């Protein structure tokens, strides 16, 4: 698919991997809908890249519908970057993990991703338009660490969505792919001391550094433009494999 002249929706688009993706798509000629909980940040980025800002929660059908309607035509590129990374042991010092904590992570990461996918796909199907969905999983989907049970489960669910949705949406030309990033430089990771970041980087085989959000964005660009890539999950991690803890 040619990015130039299309409309793209990027959830979690105001920071981190989402912001890098929004900038990349805009630089390549797309009109980008920046969808994020943080209205101020979304508006600032949209103004920077000539896009449209929509504030909202990916689990909220009305908010996602508003984002899909933001430019008057359904976005043909959908990139789901919204997510949370709350950690916690299944059984910790204070007892079993509160069920609400598990449900919140599953709700935002997995249900939120599915919510955007289903609503965007319906629009494209009704309009008879081809498109591409890129979802964001994590290497934790394959090697979840201690304390990541909820997060790993949510990302594993996103991995599992790719193939069945790609098969179902093939009838109207909508591709579905997933990126499973490793350890990337994000606003949350940036709060760690430099020594801690260096230790994380040292465990990555090659290149021995943290991932750059622009590399994630370039992978999104490749997926969008490579029409024969469908139903796939791409690990973007420098060959790292997470240790148990």
Q: Which residues are catalytic?
A: 151
Cα(137)–Cα(118) distance, integer angstroms: 17
Contacts of 82 (CB under 8 A, 6+ apart): 11, 12, 18, 35, 36, 37, 58, 108, 112, 113
Q: Quick one: which of 243, 184, 235, 239 has its CA closest to 207?
A: 239
User: Are residues 10 and 32 in contact, defined by beta-carbon separation less than 8 angstroms?
Assistant: yes
User: Are residues 36 and 12 in contact, defined by beta-carbon separation less than 8 angstroms?
Assistant: yes
Q: Residue 207: left if φ>0, alpha if ψ -120 to 50, beta else—which one?
A: beta
Q: What is the DSSP letter of 5?
A: T
Can you spell out the DSSP letters for 195-217? HHHHHHHHTSSSS-SPBPHHHHH
Cα(237)–Cα(181) distance, integer angstroms: 6
Cα(134)–Cα(116) distance, integer angstroms: 11
């Amino acid at each position: 698919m040619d990015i130039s002249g299309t409309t793209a929706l990027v959830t979690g688009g105001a920071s981190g991997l989402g912001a890098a993706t929004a900038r990349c798509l805009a630089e390549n000629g797309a009109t980008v809908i920046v969808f994020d909980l943080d209205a101020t940040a979304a508006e600032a980025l949209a103004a920077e890249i000539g896009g449209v800002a929509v504030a909202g929660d990916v689990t909220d059908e009305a908010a996602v519908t508003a984002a899909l309607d933001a430019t008057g035509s359904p976005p043909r590129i959908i990139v789901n970057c919204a997510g949370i990374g709350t950690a916690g042991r299944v059984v910790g010092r204070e007892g079993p993990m509160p069920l609400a904590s598990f449900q919140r992570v599953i709700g935002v990461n997995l249900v939120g991703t599915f919510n955007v996918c289903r609503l965007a796909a319906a629009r494209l199907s009704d309009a008879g338009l081809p498109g591409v969905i890129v979802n964001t999983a994590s290497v934790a989907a394959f090697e979840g660490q201690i304390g990541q049970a909820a997060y790993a489960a949510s990302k594993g669910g996103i991995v599992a969505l790719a193939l069945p949705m790609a098969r179902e949406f093939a009838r109207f030309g909508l591709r579905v792919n997933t990126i499973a990033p490793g350890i990337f430089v994000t606003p949350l990771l940036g709060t760690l001391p430099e020594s801690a970041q260096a230790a994380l980087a040292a465990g990555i085989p090659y290149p021995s550094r943290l991932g750059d959000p622009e590399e994630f964005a370039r992978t999104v660009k490749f997926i969008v433009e490579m029409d024969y890539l469908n139903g796939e999950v791409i690990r973007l991690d420098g060959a790292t494999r997470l240790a148990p803890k």
